[in-house]
Structure 1
Amino acid sequence: CWPADLLAGVAAAATGAGLPLHLDGARLWNAAVAAGVSEAALCAPFVTASVCFSKGLGAPVGSALVGPRPLIEAAHRLRKRWGGGMRQVGILAAGARHALDHHRGRLADDHAHARALAAAVAGAPGVQLDLATVETNIVRFDVPGLAATAVVEAARERGVLLSAFGPHTLRAVLHLDVSGAEARQAGERLAEAVAQLGRAGDRP
């Protein structure tokens, strides 16, 4: 999460240059929990923001654009004009509403599970992971000398899914379908995968 003073400085510079700011708030809910502030406080420097109901909150699908009423009304017309209209979306809205009402309060659990996974991975030989960087439900770590894609495949064979985020960088994202015990087990299996690849000399 960006420090508040840094964000305020960027916002002031943009405003001074006459540039309206938009927030890509796909993970706004998690950021608010991690920072200990409201979503409104994080959005305050921006003119508009988009929020996602599936990432973090776990709704099946759905995003929303928020901002001044005249701008949202104009965006609504443009969405229809460009073919973005949908019909019978009440069931999707219901899923988003359920996520807002029932899943926001447990986001801190995902953050704790991410730290548990990170702690298990950080102790593995060949892994570079600063535990202080695990602030939300996302864990990023490096495996210098190993191909990230090889780690992804080795982890998949052990029942753990994560993404290559660069030649030697990986990312794991925790969510409401992963328990604390499963997160710790996933971290242990990831550590095993990295250690095995290191012993086998699986270099890029």
Structure 2
Amino acid sequence: MEIELKQIGWRIRNYRRLNGWSQQQLADLVPGLSRGTLSQIESQKSSSETARKTLDFSLLLGIAWALRVPPVALVVDVTKPDQTVTVNDRVFNRVSQSWELRPTERSTWDVIVWFMGWSDHVGELSADNTAARGETYQQLGLLQGIARAEQSEYQTKVDNLDYPPAADYEAEGEAAALVDRLKSEARALGIEFGGDTDA
């Protein structure tokens, strides 16, 4: 799937304007981004010598973070989920008995779902089930569970601050125990958390 920087630039400009920000205001929120570079990304109208041919992924993530939109919203047009995009699927050729890449039309929605890690159903459409894919979705599932458990733990602590106190320390302990258990499972899959040290 070829991603046009012109389209990414248009989406960045659109979200920036929705937030009511100038180019300088957005640039100030992204380390390593100047107003001039942002202008160049958004317009894609500069001379061929200075026109950006690539966009550093960490810069794209920084811009998405500052705009408070998921990175996928900058990469594909989320306003047209039924539009198709061409991706290369790895399919097994029964005649040659080998794997090959074959251009396949997918809906933007399929790409969004896969990109966000919401489901691995896109991978199920081809028979190419890899261990890496399975482990990745297992890791993403655990991270999603940890985020939900931490949110629940936080909410329980906030609820316990109410007056008169309705302290439910048992629920608070259960939420913390769930976070610990999920993090332990995640560590077994190679996920590292702040504060983890190698023995």
TM-score normalised by length of structure 1: 0.25
The one of the two structures with greater contact order (alpha-carbon pairs below 8 A, sep at least 6) is 1
TM-score normalised by length of structure 2: 0.25
> Which structure would you say has the larger Rg?
2
